[in-house]
Structure 1
Amino acid sequence: MNQPLVTILDDEPEIRRILTDTLEEAGFRTQSFSRAREFEASLKRVVPDVCLVDLSLPDTDGLALVHRLALEQGAAVIIISGRAQVQDRVTGLELGADDYITKPFDPAEVVARIRARLRSSRAPAPQSEIAEFNGWTAYFDRYVLEDGSGSETPFSHAEAEVLRLFLDSPKRLISRSQMQEALGGGAGDSFDRAMDVRISRLRTKLGEDPKNPRLIKTIYGAGYIFLGDVAWR
């Protein structure tokens, strides 16, 4: 079995060296890039299992790059950035990142976060990658939601994981701890914020009333419940 491939995009040589040494010692294959242009060119040849992306890049907007990766690639995207403000975290997660790690970081934590993402993405999938529910069709093979009129809305890899979790367990309460066990990621406020952002974005894409959603209900103090009728095909 091939070792998972992690790509590193950061313009700081020392950061690239630390991450490369740590990840290879932990059993990962790595590729590192200092420029987004080289990084994006490599994606045409091979899609990595995980992308580590710095936001402060010399040749592109890091947040825009994260958004493109989330919509167009099958890799998990973890932001590693010196931007520690809450709004930067929220924006990164809203644009589709799977996780957000601030600099300075503990290399062991980066390894743990990557392993959590890989465990999540390797969870057993349904026989089919298409689910129908309440007038919607979700195509997990191409990350698209289709409404009854045939109009399509793309969703990110991170949003796909949350939606799949709901569709696999309709009309059952899913607690925050169950979500973390299933999806991985950092514990505490960082994980809760990530889930809030992804669920909010899914509700928007499903045309939900944020004050009274019909499909994804928040059970305060307990978790979430998906109330749709789901059929996989």
Structure 2
Amino acid sequence: MDLPTLGVAPHVLVVDDDPSIRQMLVDFLGDYDYKVSAVASSAEMTEVLTGSVIDLLVLDVRLPDEDGIQIARRLREQSDLAIIVITGRRDEADRVMALELGADDYLTKPFSPRELLARVRALLRRSKMQSVAAKREAGIRAYRFAGWELNMGLRRLSSPQGKVISLSNGEYNLLTAFLGAPQRVLTRAQLLELSRLHDDEVYDRSIDVQIGRLRRKLETEGQPPLIRTDRGAGYTFIPKVEILR
């Protein structure tokens, strides 16, 4: 069983309009020392989030009052709450959209409660690691590399020419993962954990997609590459990095 941290069990909120699924997850996760709340709508979810500290959200896509994918996007803009989306849709495009818009993981109904438990455990472990990393980065004002500067407080990336470059949440987290470990080979698994990207085997290429996007923003034609692909091993951020505290 998962052991509560400092005597406090992780609090999981289940949002699903199917009462049988809500009860199943309340009973099953409760048997593994999780505190579980369950509601049927977006409005009820908002009430719980306002009045309680939630560690992880299990969110159905089809709700009576709001689309779950849009809820995930809104919550991701406001917080780093861990989110697992569940749905009866089997279209891969829907899965990709959910992950791109802010969900951390994705399960298709019908699913095994044990599989959900494994994903809850993995996501909470990853969230804890990211929290530790965030505290470590809290004292860092900015990173500088190859003429670029990433202002951590403003989450603003400036080019050597002084132009501000917009970054998605995934691109920002991926860049900070590289900047925290420059000139070291980082595996896909390490980058997935450090950058909050989905780590299901089906989507392990999401790292390659995000790195491709990041490269297009950082690397210009005729200039040395900043990110090197180490085939069979991972990726390396090549420049030296200066930390401003």
Go from structure 1 to structure 2 and tell me whether the alpha carbon gap of 1:162 and 1:76 turns closer, same or farther (over 3 Å shift): farther
2:234 to 204, 223, 227: 223
1:128 and 2:141 correspond:
no
Deviation beyond 6 Å, 4+ runs, structure 1: 181-185
Aligned length: 227
Cα separation, 2, equivalents of 1:232 and 1:118: 30
Go from structure 1 to structure 2 and tell me whether the alpha carbon gap of 1:196 and 1:32 turns closer, same or farther (over 3 Å shift): farther
Cα separation, 2, equivalents of 1:75 and 1:10: 17
CA contact (8 A) 2:104 2:197 kept: no
Q: Secondary structure at the match of 1:80?
A: strand
Cα separation, 1, equivalents of 2:167 and 2:85: 21
Structure 1 residue aligned with 2:13:
7
Q: What is the aligned-residue RMSD (CA, Å)?
A: 3.3
Structure 2 residue aligned with 1:108:
114
Aligned residues with identical type, % of pairs: 37
After superposition, the C-alpha distances for 1:96-118 in whole angstroms (9 at most, x for unaligned) are: 21111111111111111111111
CA contact (8 A) 2:61 2:69 kept: yes
Cα separation, 2, equivalents of 1:43 and 1:170: 37
Unaligned 5+ segments in structure 1 are: none
Give how far 1:228 is off. Answer: 4.3
Structure 2 residue aligned with 1:166:
178
Structure 1 residue aligned with 2:3:
none
Cα separation, 2, equivalents of 1:138 and 1:54: 36
Unaligned 5+ segments in structure 2 are: 1-5
Cα separation, 1, equivalents of 2:181 and 2:92: 31
Which shows bigger deviation, 170-179 or 57-66?
170-179
Go from structure 1 to structure 2 and tell me whether the alpha carbon gap of 1:214 and 1:61 turns closer, same or farther (over 3 Å shift): farther
Work out which of the two has the higher radius of gyration on C-alpha atoms and give 1 or 2. Answer: 2
Paired letter, 1:89: R
1:22 and 2:35 correspond:
no
Give matches, 1:78-93, under 5 Å.
78-93=84-99
After superposition, the C-alpha distances for 1:139-168 in whole angstroms (9 at most, x for unaligned) are: 3x88x3443669695754x66654443232
Tell me the TM-score normalised to structure 2 length: 0.76
Cα separation, 1, equivalents of 2:224 and 2:78: 28
Q: Secondary structure at the match of 1:79?
A: strand
CA contact (8 A) 1:138 1:146 kept: yes
Give matches, 1:190-205, under 5 Å.
190=203, 192-196=204-208, 198-199=210-211
Cα separation, 2, equivalents of 1:155 and 1:12: 33
Cα separation, 2, equivalents of 1:224 and 1:168: 13
1:137 and 2:143 correspond:
no
Determine which structure has greater relative contact order: mean sequence separation of CA pairs < 8 Å that are 6+ residues apart, divided by chain length. 1
Go from structure 1 to structure 2 and tell me whether the alpha carbon gap of 1:16 and 1:150 turns closer, same or farther (over 3 Å shift): farther
After superposition, the C-alpha distances for 1:162-188 in whole angstroms (9 at most, x for unaligned) are: 444323211211122444676796552
